[in-house]
């Protein structure tokens, strides 16, 4: 279900509000994502928001054709107050 965490300025700012961002399987739904995060990290999940992001078009300079980056699905998972995921701590 969960492929990898998203490391960006926005995701680090959301961590202050107990929200963590993950790239997930495109076929996953909110319930499956909630259960996967709860089982992997041992936290209580209070909210799951899902984003379907379209891949950008990229131009090929030599042939003047276009390629496409892959579409991704992201999940913004909010955990209960007082809990955190140690994956992002260093």
pLDDT the model gives residue 90: 53
Residue 88 predicted with pLDDT over 80 = no
If you average pLDDT over residues 53-79, what whole number do you get?
Answer: 94
Sequence-distant (≥ 6) Cβ neighbours of residue 72 within 8 angstroms: 23, 26, 52, 53, 55
What is the percent of the chain where pLDDT is above 70? 97
**17 vs 2: CA distance, rounded Å:** 21
Q: Are strands 45-53 and 65-68 parallel, antiparallel or unpaired?
A: unpaired
Both tokens assigned to 28: 């996953």
Say which CATH superfamily domain 2-81 falls into. RRM (RNA recognition motif) domain (3.30.70.330)
Give the torsion sign (CA, 42, 47, 49, 50). Answer: positive
Domain boundaries, the chain: 2-81
29-65 pLDDT tens trace: 999 999 999 999 999 999 999 999 999 999 998 888 9
Q: What pTM value is reported for the model?
A: 0.86
């Amino acid at each position: 279900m969960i492929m990898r965490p998203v490391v960006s300025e926005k995701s680090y700012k959301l961590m202050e509000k107990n929200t963590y961002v993950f790239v997930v399987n495109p076929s996953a739904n909110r319930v499956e994502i909630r259960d996967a995060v709860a089982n992997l990290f041992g936290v209580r999940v209070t909210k799951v928001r899902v984003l379907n992001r379209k891949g950008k078009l990229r131009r090929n300079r030599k042939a003047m054709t276009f390629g496409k980056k892959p579409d991704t699905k992201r999940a913004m998972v909010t955990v209960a107050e007082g809990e955190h995921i140690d994956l992002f701590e260093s």
